[in-house]
Amino acid sequence: MTVTTEKPQDAAPGHGHHAGRVSAGVFNPRQLAEALPDALRKLSPRHQLANPVMFVVWAGSLLSTVFAVSRPGVFTVGTTLWLWFTVVFANLAEAVAEGRGKAQAETLRRTKKETIARRLTEDGSHERVPGVDLRVGDLVVVEAGEIIPGDGDVVEGIATVDESAITGESAPVIRESGGDRSAVTGGTTVLSDRIVVKITTKPGESFVDRMIALVEGASRQKTPNEVALTILLAVLTIIFLLAVVALQPMAAYAGTLQPVVVLTALLVCLIPTTIGALLSAIGIAGMDRLVQRNVLATSGRAVEAAGDVDTLLLDKTGTITFGNRQATEFIPVGDATLAELARAARLSSLADGTPEGRSIVELCVRDHGLAAEPSEQERLAEFVPFAAQTRMSGIDLGGRQVRKGATDAVRAWVVEHGGTVPDDVREIADRIGANGGTPLLCADQDRVYGVIQLSDVVKPRMRERFGELRAMGIKTIMITGDNPLTAKAIAAQAGVDDFLAEAKPEDKMALIRKEQEGGRLVAMTGDGTNDAPALAQADVGVAMNTGTMAAKEAGNMVDLDSDPTKLIEVVAIGKQLLITRGALTTFSIANDLAKYFAILPAMFAGIYPQLGKLNIMGLHSPSSAILSAVIFNALIIVALIPLALRGVRYRPASAQSLLRRNLLVYGLGGIVTPFAGIWLIDLLVRLIPGM
């Protein structure tokens, strides 16, 4: 008999040191200097065309440069330089956001190692080939100390794997065939045993390759919300462009034509340059914040959708609960004592390598002082493994037979051997089942010792975390294959809003579609192949890194820590992205209102003296007023880069309260800030000779 009492388990999620990853961290001014070369490269017209607002600024800067060269002057040259600074600062915001991703991508590139794979041939022998020559469907053998040459699924064996190079998690994890923990990632290292891996990706399309492309921003596409906002900004730009062009005929009629540089400055200050400059950086930073938390989003659309999620589906096993049922109580029946039940339960579980069997032995050791290791005599016993037909397992030792298993199966086995079953067994079993547990009956051939209670333990702080989701207005639904009684008990312990019991893959799909038909956005976590259809149907599908390749391919996010409750953070980041975009849009438009009071009086005060009353800032001269507004317009972009990258702080609140806060803080702030900023800049500009 081979006795197994311990088996390594997956490390608890979220407790590694993330040594393999480089966090973008807090914004620091040095990042501006490092991103400056990229910002200058982005001055090409092809790049500027992607952003209508900044393309108008770029074209205006080019036009002003022509006049500055042909008719140089302090005002013309100064205004032209600051118009170019506006374009450069806008590029700088995007370059800083991309630079943080490139630093993370470089770290990931260092984890990629060229490997020699041992590929299985048709006759069962091995051939050594470079990892880059592997194709989809190839079978490779990987043993302790060797690097897994490519992404795939374990089809034979079980092993502990070091994934710290990819996930940053320092503790090794279990990978085994035939389950939801079969997926392996190229570049990770096998620490023990031997596995056969079936390659599932082509060279250059591995998980690490996709991560590199995503964190660099190469695969980031504009989200629907971002596209809509870009169109709005383009429309506003066209409106202001037509308005500024119409000013020149009015000025000609009044007898004072305005210089082209002045009209360009007015246009640049009136159009929403602030949000236009920061829009791309906000989107990149949203995905970057997910990467910092070890979540890889395959699209910006998924991040944005997370901010609007109404319903959250969570798998019970391994998500809300630990997944492995654990022995929590021994309940003796009849004339049996607690000590007799504990000894019989330990004996029947010594050779049981399942999580349930190990937990029974642990309970015997912890609460009853019994030995964890078998004695010499016990090592000679014959272990009876669990079988679907008998629904029992146990041990035969010196003419004694001890069994544990499903209550009705053990009851029938005892009666068959001439024993009797106490009347209270059924009542105890029903009570345990109603409370969400699983009862196992433990007995000899002719005597029942009692009931072992197994419980699927709810993870700590789950009720509090679901309370946070409820405060966000998100409905939580637990999905489980358990019977309704067990599901109801676990749902009550965890604090979810609803549950779906005895769920099959098609039931999950039907539930998601039902929620979506009501106009709600649905998020779901999963790790198994049977979760793949539902992950694909959900608006936000977060697959666990420990899960199957099918689940990873179906979802639009992958959690490298395999912590299903992290979806709460994903939702918060999505909401933060939307709030940041809304806040800076509000600030940008309010900003433009204040600039009217600086530039319009300066342009027409000579023609219409009455406009002088609008010069409430008391600016020195028309030239200093216009130049001060252009300088402020450029500097405010740089000042807001840290906020765009960090994001506006999110607190769970209703849409109405968020709107009020936006208008109060960013709307009012957007009006007040330019008055103070332009006035201070004017105090310095007026000192320049010729102004």
Segment 163-181, tens digit of pLDDT:
765 655 545 777 877 666 7
Reduced to 3 states, what is the DSSP secondary structure of residue 118? strand
Q: What is the CATH code for 324-457?
A: 3.40.1110.10
pLDDT for res 12: 32
Sequence ranges of the binding site for ATP: 352, 356, 386-393, 404
Residue written as tokens 């216009």? Answer: 626
- Nearest 5°: phi and psi at 505? -50, -40
Q: Are 542 and 523 in contact (CB under 8 A)?
A: yes
- Nearest 5°: phi and psi at 93? -60, -45
| Residues forming beta bridges with residue 542, ordered by sequence position | 525, 557
pLDDT winner (highest mean) among 186-195, 414-423, 498-507, 522-531: 414-423
Sorting pLDDT into bands at 50, 70 and 90, what band is 411?
very high
| Residue 691 amino acid letter | M
Q: What is the CATH code for 135-201?
A: 2.70.150.10
Q: What is the CATH code for 310-320+459-560?
A: 3.40.50.1000
Q: How many C-beta atoms surround the C-beta of residue 311 within 10 A?
A: 23
CATH 2.70.150.10, the chain: domain bounds? 135-201
Sequence ranges of the binding site: 352, 356, 386-393, 404, 527, 531
pLDDT beyond 50 at 611: yes
Sorting pLDDT into bands at 50, 70 and 90, what band is 54?
very high
pLDDT for res 219: 47
pLDDT for res 83: 94
Sequence ranges of the binding site for Mg(2+): 527, 531
Sorting pLDDT into bands at 50, 70 and 90, what band is 216?
low
Helices of type H across 42-73: 45-48, 52-70
Q: Which residues are catalytic?
A: 315
| Portion of the chain with pLDDT greater than 90, in percent | 19
Sorting pLDDT into bands at 50, 70 and 90, what band is 240?
confident
pLDDT for res 8: 33
pLDDT for res 105: 61
Q: What is the pLDDT of residues 436-478, one digit of tens each?
A: 788 999 999 889 999 999 887 788 788 888 887 887 788 999 8
Instruction: Tokens for 416, please give them.
Output: 């068959």
Helices of type H across 313-461: 338-349, 355-368, 376-379, 407-416, 424-434
CATH 3.40.50.1000, the chain: domain bounds? 310-320+459-560
- Nearest 5°: phi and psi at 542? -105, 110
pLDDT for res 210: 67
pLDDT for res 220: 52
Q: What is the pLDDT of residues 644-681, one digit of tens each?
A: 888 888 776 666 777 788 888 898 888 889 888 988 99
Distance CA 447, CA 433 (A): 23
Reduced to 3 states, what is the DSSP secondary structure of residue 531? helix
Nearest to 11 by CA among 173, 183, 188: 173
pLDDT for res 1: 42
Length of the chain as a residue count = 691
| Residue 179 amino acid letter | G
pLDDT beyond 80 at 280: yes
Residue 273: which residues within 8 A CB-CB, separation 6 or more?
53, 54, 57, 86, 90, 588, 633, 637
> Cα 223 from chain centroid?
16
| Portion of the chain with pLDDT greater than 70, in percent | 84
